[in-house]
Structure 1
Amino acid sequence: MFEHCPIFWGMGLFDDAQKTAGRARYTAAQGIRSAWYGAQYAIAKRRSAGFNRPGEPAFKPTNPVDTKELRASYFRLFAKDRANIEAGLYPAPEDFRLVDLPKAVKRARHFMEDVEDVDRRRVARDGAEVRDRLDGHNRYPAYYRQNFHYQTDGWLSDESAKLYDHQVEALFTGSADAMRRAALAEIARELKGRDQREVRLMDLACGTGRFLRETMRAFPRLQASGLDLSPNYAERARMQVAPWPQVDIIEGLAEALPLEDASLDVVVSIYLFHELPEKARRDVMAEVSRVLKPGGVFIIADSLQFKDNEKLDGILEYFPEGFHEPYYKAYLGWDFAAPMQEAGFALERTEIAFLTKVNVWRKHAGGAGDGE
């Protein structure tokens, strides 16, 4: 009966006005991001030699890219992101404050300056500079000692850590953070009705801590940690999560987690598996199963694979041609189901977010390999 009272009409109108204003702010901010990073990508592409190498035929994907679907999928990503924000799954992103503009311009300038070096490595198919520099260094596995994406210093310098997030956003024309937030939505669903202080979460291969920071903004009392093998990226991650003193950043291998058995409730992995050889993927799955409690959840956000959206298969074919991704081609057709089941997981949910797929895997209540 209260819905007929004028004061409740006013509250409803106020809520509608707030939603409208929030949508307008979000649309404006994401529009600026898309234009900002899209322009940088376009300039970088013009300055580079393209995907083709001297003396080689032009690369043509088996499946031509459906540009209409690419554009439509891009806009669906942001519509879903905004819907998740309105549903209260996570807060609106912190974006494009005027006070941050000088830093943004500096990062853009640095990105453009580095394009020439990246392009030189790409055309020459040279992704081994890091390996040469670390020859005989046993801290890092062989697959890790490479210039992934042809980026300067691979994962192993402060300069690389400073530039990485900007490079990724430029590559995906401002959509990378929104794709990552699709995994944040799954964390929110997992935490619904639970006391954050009693939940232990790890961001596996946390990189610079960008996603972990967004997780803590959404769930500030969470008992969280991040793990990364790069000391440079781990140090930057510590800076990102400094406002939350309970968050710990650990340096180590995803295949040999320095954690006790059944010590975590949630593990999330963002863009890790496509950069691992098959044996390492299986080892990571086994380790995550070991450290998760029975009934715990493993959220994997990674690149689309073939047939996830067949109209976009062509763009997946392009990616390893233009960038140094030594394990990506094998990843595109790799079936997660059997090794995940062997490790004791069952698939609960899949969400497609533009060029990212988020799978939610639940560890069997009886532990790994019980088949229940």
Structure 2
Amino acid sequence: MATALDRIAFQAAQRLRRSWFRGHWIAAAALDRGRRPAASGAAGPGRRELDADLDALFAADWAAIEAGHYLPPADMWAPPARALGDSRAFLRDLPRVARRRREGRHQEVAADDAGTGLPRYYRQNFHFQTDGWLSRDSARLYDFQVEVLFGGAADAMRRGALAPLGQALTAAGAQARMVDLACGTGRFLAAVKDNWPRLAVTGIDLSRAYLDEAARRLRRRRGVTLVQALAERLPLADGSIDALTAIYLFHELPPGIRQAVAVEIARVLRPGGRLILVDSLQPGGHPPYDGLLERFPAMFHEPYFASWLDLDLEGLFVAAGLRAGPGERRFMSKIAVFDKPGA
């Protein structure tokens, strides 16, 4: 059970975290000032409104911890040496990202690994990041870059998946099997294993470099399997998985691939199994952010984001055979739950 001391430590750590990543955001914005593509659309929220919404995010995060849905994050106080090393790497790479954005270059990795089975839609410099998702350096920088983008809120948004995941695992029992699809560097899987150490988990991703980083992060946890595979062709048996999470995957997929992935998820879930999806808000999810969502593809290379904004997410998964459950908003993300009928 969380204590008053835990609450004080959590609040202090999150304040420090927000200041740390906001400082890096200011540095990135200063470098890019006047160089980003002109953005159209409605104005987004001001700094005061964003800060208030961040306060609400961390309040909801703590409320879930206090209610016992999940534990406080294990790495609230990351080693300073690692934090400073990540900061130096981020700042060193920043001019290359800014130059790529300024020049509109996002296909540098198009020819990389062309013969290894990686699909063309994947071989791009998403977010204008160096090496796309195809190198060790990219994998080491990714989590830091995402936290800068969201002002230190990315982990708290991801943790919104833990409560509905816990419900699914309780229903499944001691032999539950869980998959994190597009697991990336394993950051969310680490939180899962912190909360359910005996749970058998599988992380699936398309990047060998990111899976290697996940293996490093998860090396002290037991019951972890990491697999390189396409989300649209999962190497899993029909009805074999009790819970599946997909964190920030679907907005990165072309529309046709989204449909194929939804069908695959429905196939591998057992009757009564659950999908928990965390992804970007869509228009209307929180109207003050609609302008930001419209401008996002112009600020970052997100080639399939516009189609994500138009996607009928519930319709996609209902058509695949799942049933929509309750969801929630966490800052700039939505948590959506879909269950497979039949248990």
Instruction: Give the equivalent residue in structure 1 for 2:118.
Output: 140
Matches within 5 A, 1:10-89: 19-50=3-34, 52-53=36-37, 58-65=38-45, 67-89=47-69
Task: Determine if contact 2:168/2:273 at 8 Å carries over to the other structure.
Answer: no
Alpha-carbon distance change, 67 to 39 in structure 1, aligned in 2, over 3 angstroms: closer
Q: CA deviation at 1:131?
A: 0.1
In terms of Rg, which structure is larger? Answer: 1
Alpha-carbon distance change, 64 to 89 in structure 1, aligned in 2, over 3 angstroms: closer
Deviations 1:59-88 (A, max 9, x none): 232354355443322111100100111111
Distance in structure 2 (CA, Å) of the matches to 1:174 and 1:273: 22
Distance in structure 1 (CA, Å) of the matches to 2:206 and 2:9: 37
Task: Determine if contact 2:328/2:335 at 8 Å carries over to the other structure.
Answer: yes
Task: Determine if contact 1:117/1:152 at 8 Å carries over to the other structure.
Answer: yes
Deviations 1:167-221 (A, max 9, x none): 11111111000000001122122233654x4100000000000000100000111
Amino acid at match of 2:163: A
Distance in structure 2 (CA, Å) of the matches to 1:64 and 1:210: 29
TM-score (norm 1): 0.88
Please state whether the residue corresponding to 2:325 is helix, strand or coil.
strand
Distance in structure 2 (CA, Å) of the matches to 1:175 and 1:337: 25
Amino acid at match of 2:7: R
Q: CA deviation at 1:242?
A: 1.8
Matches within 5 A, 1:1-372: 19-50=3-34, 52-53=36-37, 58-65=38-45, 67-97=47-77, 100-134=79-113, 136-192=114-170, 195=173, 197-365=174-342
Q: CA deviation at 1:93?
A: 0.9
Distance in structure 2 (CA, Å) of the matches to 1:120 and 1:159: 18
Structure 2 residue runs without a partner (length 5+): none
Please state whether the residue corresponding to 2:270 is helix, strand or coil.
strand
Count of matched residue positions in the alignment of Structure 1 and Structure 2: 343
- State percent identity of aligned pairs: 41
Alpha-carbon distance change, 326 to 50 in structure 1, aligned in 2, over 3 angstroms: farther
Amino acid at match of 2:87: A
Structure 1 residue runs without a partner (length 5+): 1-14, 367-372
Task: Determine if contact 1:50/1:322 at 8 Å carries over to the other structure.
Answer: no
Task: Determine if contact 1:89/1:189 at 8 Å carries over to the other structure.
Answer: no
Amino acid at match of 1:184: L
Distance in structure 1 (CA, Å) of the matches to 2:35 and 2:117: 33
Distance in structure 2 (CA, Å) of the matches to 1:142 and 1:39: 35
Amino acid at match of 2:70: Y
Distance in structure 2 (CA, Å) of the matches to 1:159 and 1:330: 30
Deviations 1:102-143 (A, max 9, x none): 111011010011111001111111110000334x42511111
Task: Determine if contact 2:178/2:200 at 8 Å carries over to the other structure.
Answer: yes
Alpha-carbon distance change, 21 to 50 in structure 1, aligned in 2, over 3 angstroms: farther
Q: CA deviation at 1:244?
A: 2.3
Alpha-carbon distance change, 50 to 275 in structure 1, aligned in 2, over 3 angstroms: farther
Alpha-carbon distance change, 50 to 319 in structure 1, aligned in 2, over 3 angstroms: farther
Deviations 1:346-368 (A, max 9, x none): 111111000010000011218xx
Alpha-carbon distance change, 139 to 349 in structure 1, aligned in 2, over 3 angstroms: same
Task: Determine if contact 1:51/1:321 at 8 Å carries over to the other structure.
Answer: no
TM-score (norm 2): 0.96
Distance in structure 2 (CA, Å) of the matches to 1:288 and 1:96: 32
